[in-house]
């Protein structure tokens, strides 16, 4: 048996990447991936646990899908991703009509699980330990975009006091460099031009594991540290124009990393490095492993080597114990750093994390207020940064027409800014073009194509 499958995906880029692997494994087993839920024999919700809201969204969707089985009796409904890993069979108890729960480390067994359900053997729970090994090579689908995400580090060895990720993604495991390079090389052959290397603490790559195998080519590197070495190896892949990575941590911002970004042409002038807070007291309670000064030094070191580095970040407001003073310190520091963009999250207590035991001290209204204040600051800051780009000509990697208006095309700069432009006719998806910026908004730049490269 086989059939058509539809995915709902929530969560981070890593989860998106898992969704792609799952889809590719299913295609290899004879399933078809469809773009409309209505057409699907199998509907899978790919979930995130990082905040309560993210789980609520997935739970709401699962409730609707479980109920929809009265209208679609033959339909198979399943759940994967971090919430599936966290809650396991409890999800089956909660939703009558749910057919399977599959954890993050068992994803390669998805086709078997679906078949088992379709043959009447359901419901199935396939959730192992979070850090079980997955197949070394991760499959991917034919790219529709010139952009792709590639895992280099699974799990996380940090223990930030608020975070659920280590418990759902397990201990840190670095992928073998050989497997990473093989995956990227294949993708580039299929038209990918911009690759983001993924890891929760991406700069920790290869620090506590052997990643080079017996491939002596790596030893001729001028870098000693594993992550810059990997960047160098990835940068050598022909026709790969852009390499970026996320998420960074101040402890990984070494001189070697600064040189790597400055000297390896494909490595983009863009870093996403979550700050979370700029109060040392709160950072300590968050167990982030850096002080405000260490964050500042890390950024100073990188900017000395890469003056036009675009810096983006994440901030949590309303962490237990966060006072008005702590918040104002974060606000001021964000201005000092001049972040190009910032994602602001309201603190959400996650079951089983140390911070969840401390109790909340900031009301929902106050979290909302702090959230709005930081968003407004960031809008102003992004606008000012973008205004300075007006009149400049920037390299844009073309992603395609916008969904709402097919006349307007969009792409990204090396600094990861979205640029919208009218297609003069000759521009195609995956082209690298020069766009002259004419107008700017906080999240978008607008311009005209100056020339095809
Ligand atoms: N590994 C990355 C972050 C992964 S989670 C890093 O540490 O840099 C993505 C973002 O979600 C975090 O940067 C943080 O800002 C936010 N986040 C994580 N747990 C949260 C929680 N319990 N409540 C609110 N936001 C949270
Ligand atoms: Fe969570 Fe901290 Fe690991 Fe990021 S570094 S995934 S916030 S534990
Ligand atoms: Fe990502 Fe959410 Fe899991 S942020 S790692 S999908 S908990």
The model's pLDDT over 48-106, given as tens digits with 9 standing for 90+, comes to 999 999 999 999 999 999 999 889 988 999 999 999 999 999 999 999 999 999 999 89
On whether both 210 and 153 belong to a single domain, the answer is yes
On whether both 157 and 241 belong to a single domain, the answer is yes
Alpha-carbon span 209 to 176, nearest angstrom: 9
Q: Is residue 427 part of a domain?
A: yes
Last residue of a domain, one of 239, 268, 297: 268
Which of 153, 161, 201, 352 should be mutated for ligand 2, with most atoms under 8 A from CB?
A: 201
Q: Is residue 30 part of a domain?
A: yes
Establish how many alpha carbons lie within 13 A of residue 376's alpha carbon, considering only the half-sphere containing its beta carbon. 6
On whether both 86 and 152 belong to a single domain, the answer is no
Q: Is residue 187 part of a domain?
A: yes
Ligand 2 binding pocket includes 50 (Cβ within 6 Å): no
On whether both 106 and 210 belong to a single domain, the answer is no
- The ligand 1 atom nearest the CA atom of 249: 8
Indicate which CATH number applies to the domain containing 118: 3.40.50.12160
From the list 48, 73, 252, the residue with the least C-alpha distance to 168 is 48
For the chain, residues with pLDDT lower than 50 are none
Beta strands in 187-280 (DSSP E): 194-198, 242-246, 270-272
Residue 430's domain spans which residues? 393-452
Last residue of a domain, one of 268, 302, 335: 268
Q: Which residues line ligand 1 (CB under 6 A)?
A: 50-51, 162-163, 165, 200, 247, 274, 276, 314, 316, 345, 347-348, 350
Q: Is residue 194 part of a domain?
A: yes
On whether both 101 and 23 belong to a single domain, the answer is yes
- Contact call for residues 402 and 410 (beta carbons, < 8 A): yes
Tokens representing residue 341 in the block: 């963009």
Can you give the pLDDT at residue 401?
A: 92
Residue nearest to atom 3 of ligand 1 (CA): 200
Can you give the pLDDT at residue 452?
A: 52
Beta strands in 222-359 (DSSP E): 242-246, 270-272, 310-317, 341-346
Q: Is residue 433 part of a domain?
A: yes
Which of 156, 202, 347 should be mutated for ligand 2, with most atoms under 8 A from CB?
A: 156
Indicate which CATH number applies to the domain containing 415: 2.40.50.140
Ligand 3 binding pocket includes 50 (Cβ within 6 Å): yes
Which of 51, 345, 354 should be mutated for ligand 1, with most atoms under 8 A from CB?
A: 345
Q: Is residue 19 part of a domain?
A: yes
Which of 48, 130, 158, 173 should be mutated for ligand 2, with most atoms under 8 A from CB?
A: 158
DSSP-derived letter for residue 231 is H
On whether both 11 and 102 belong to a single domain, the answer is yes
On whether both 110 and 147 belong to a single domain, the answer is no
How many independent structural domains does the chain possess?
3
127 φ/ψ angles, rounded to the nearest 5 degrees: -130, 110
Alpha-carbon span 21 to 314, nearest angstrom: 27
Please name the helix (run of DSSP H) or strand (run of DSSP E) that holds residue 188, with its range, or none. helix 177-189
Ligand with smallest separation from the Cα of 157: 2
Q: Distance from the CA of 247 to the center of ligand 2, in angstroms?
A: 9
Establish how many alpha carbons lie within 13 A of residue 123's alpha carbon, considering only the half-sphere containing its beta carbon. 23
On whether both 65 and 177 belong to a single domain, the answer is no
- The ligand 1 atom nearest the CA atom of 201: 1
Q: Is residue 341 part of a domain?
A: no
On whether both 121 and 172 belong to a single domain, the answer is no
Last residue of a domain, one of 215, 248, 268: 268
On whether both 122 and 163 belong to a single domain, the answer is no
Can you give the pLDDT at residue 46?
A: 98
On whether both 173 and 242 belong to a single domain, the answer is yes
Please name the helix (run of DSSP H) or strand (run of DSSP E) that holds residue 409, with its range, or none. strand 408-412
- Contact call for residues 301 and 277 (beta carbons, < 8 A): no
Q: Distance from the CA of 410 to the center of ligand 1, in angstroms?
A: 28
Can you give the pLDDT at residue 407?
A: 85
CA angle 351, 357, 361 (to 5 degrees): 110
- Contact call for residues 267 and 312 (beta carbons, < 8 A): no
Ligand 3 binding pocket includes 114 (Cβ within 6 Å): no
Q: In what order do the strands lie in the sheet with 310-317?
A: 270-272, 310-317, 341-346
Q: Distance from the CA of 169 to the center of ligand 1, in angstroms?
A: 14
Q: Distance from the CA of 417 to the center of ligand 1, in angstroms?
A: 22
Describe the chain by its helix, strand, coil percentages, rounded to 5: 40, 20, 40
Alpha-carbon span 384 to 391, nearest angstrom: 14
- Contact call for residues 239 and 192 (beta carbons, < 8 A): no
Mapping DSSP onto H, E and C, the string for 88-118 reads: CCHHHHHCCCCCEEECHHHHHHHHHHHHHHH
- The ligand 3 atom nearest the CA atom of 13: 1
Alpha-carbon torsion (371, 372, 373, 377), positive or negative: positive
Can you give the pLDDT at residue 215?
A: 76
Indicate which CATH number applies to the domain containing 160: 3.30.750.210
Ligand 2 binding pocket includes 160 (Cβ within 6 Å): yes
Q: Is residue 213 part of a domain?
A: yes
Residue nearest to atom 12 of ligand 1 (CA): 314
Can you give the pLDDT at residue 404?
A: 80
Residue nearest to atom 2 of ligand 2 (CA): 160
Ligand with smallest separation from the Cα of 277: 1
On whether both 168 and 224 belong to a single domain, the answer is yes
- Contact call for residues 408 and 421 (beta carbons, < 8 A): yes
């Amino acid at each position: 048996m086989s059939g058509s499958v539809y995915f709902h995906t929530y969560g981070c880029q890593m989860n998106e990447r898992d969704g792609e692997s799952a889809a590719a494994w299913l295609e290899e087993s004879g399933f078809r991936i469809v773009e409309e839920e209505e057409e699907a024999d199998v509907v899978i919700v790919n979930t995130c646990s990082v905040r309560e809201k993210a789980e609520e969204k997935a739970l709401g969707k699962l409730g609707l899908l479980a109920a929809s089985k009265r209208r679609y009796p033959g339909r198979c409904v399943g759940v994967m991703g971090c919430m599936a890993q966290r809650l396991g069979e409890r999800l089956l108890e909660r939703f009558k009509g749910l057919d399977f729960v599959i954890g993050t480390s068992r994803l390669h067994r998805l086709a078997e699980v679906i078949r088992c359900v379709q043959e009447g053997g359901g419901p199935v729970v396939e959730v192992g330990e979070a850090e079980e090994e997955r197949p070394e090579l991760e499959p991917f689908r034919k790219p529709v975009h010139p952009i792709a995400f590639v895992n280099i580090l699974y799990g996380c060895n940090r223990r930030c006091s608020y975070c659920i990720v280590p418990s759902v993604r397990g201990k840190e495991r670095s992928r073998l460099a050989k497997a990473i390079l093989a995956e990227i090389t294949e993708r580039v052959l299929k038209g990918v031009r911009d690759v983001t290397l993924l890891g929760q603490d991406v700069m920790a790559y290869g620090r506590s594991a052997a990643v080079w195998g017996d491939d002596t080519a790596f030893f001729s590197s001028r870098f000693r540290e594993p992550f810059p070495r990997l960047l160098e190896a990835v940068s050598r892949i022909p026709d790969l124009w852009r390499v970026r990575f996320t998420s960074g941590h101040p402890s990984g911002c070494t001189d070697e990393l600064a040189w790597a970004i400055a000297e390896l042409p494909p490595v983009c002038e863009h870093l996403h490095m979550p700050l979370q807070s700029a109060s040392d007291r709160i950072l300590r309670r968050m167990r982030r492993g850096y002080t405000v000064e260490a964050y500042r030094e890390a950024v100073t070191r990188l900017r000395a080597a890469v003056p036009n580095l675009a810096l983006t970040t994440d901030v949590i407001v309303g962490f237990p114990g966060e006072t008005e003073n702590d918040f104002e310190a974060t606000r001021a520091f964000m201005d000092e750093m001049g972040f190009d963009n910032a994602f602001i999250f309201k603190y959400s207590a996650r079951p089983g994390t140390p911070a969840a035991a401390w109790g909340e001290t900031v009301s929902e209204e106050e979290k909302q207020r702090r959230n709005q204040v930081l968003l407004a600051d960031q809008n102003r800051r992004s606008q000012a940064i973008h205004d300075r780009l007006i009149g400049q000509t920037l390299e844009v990697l073309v992603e395609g027409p916008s969904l709402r208006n097919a006349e307007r095309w969009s792409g990204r700069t090396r600094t990861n800014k979205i640029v919208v432009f009218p297609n003069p006719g000759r521009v195609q998806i995956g082209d690298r073009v020069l766009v002259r910026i004419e107008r700017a908004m906080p999240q978008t730049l607008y311009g005209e194509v100056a020339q095809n490269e």
